[in-house]
Structure 1
Amino acid sequence: MQIKTAKFVISNTDPLKCPQSSKPEYAFVGRSNVGKSSLINMLTNQKKLAKTSGRPGKTQLINHFIINEYWYLVDLPGYGYAQVSRTQRRKWQDFVRSYIQHRENLTCVMVLVDVRLEPQQPDTDFIEWLGVNGVPFAIIFTKADKISKNQLAKNVAHYKKELLKTWEELPTTFITSSETKEGSKEVLSYIDQINEQLKKR
Structure 2
Amino acid sequence: MKPLPSSPIGRQPGRTSRAGLTLTEVTISTFLVGLVLVSALSGVTGVYKTWIASESQHKAAALARQMMSEIMQQEYKETGVLPSLGIELPETSLNRALWDDVDDYDGWQSTPEDKNGFPLAGYSGWTREVTVDYANVSSPQNTAASDQGLKRITVTVTEPGGRQTILVGYRSQWGVLESAPEADTTVQSWAGVELQTGQGVALQGGTEITNHAEDP
| TM-score, length of structure 2 as denominator length | 0.27
Give 1 or 2 for the bigger CA radius of gyration. 2
Q: Which has more helix, going by share of residues?
A: 1
| TM-score, length of structure 1 as denominator length | 0.29
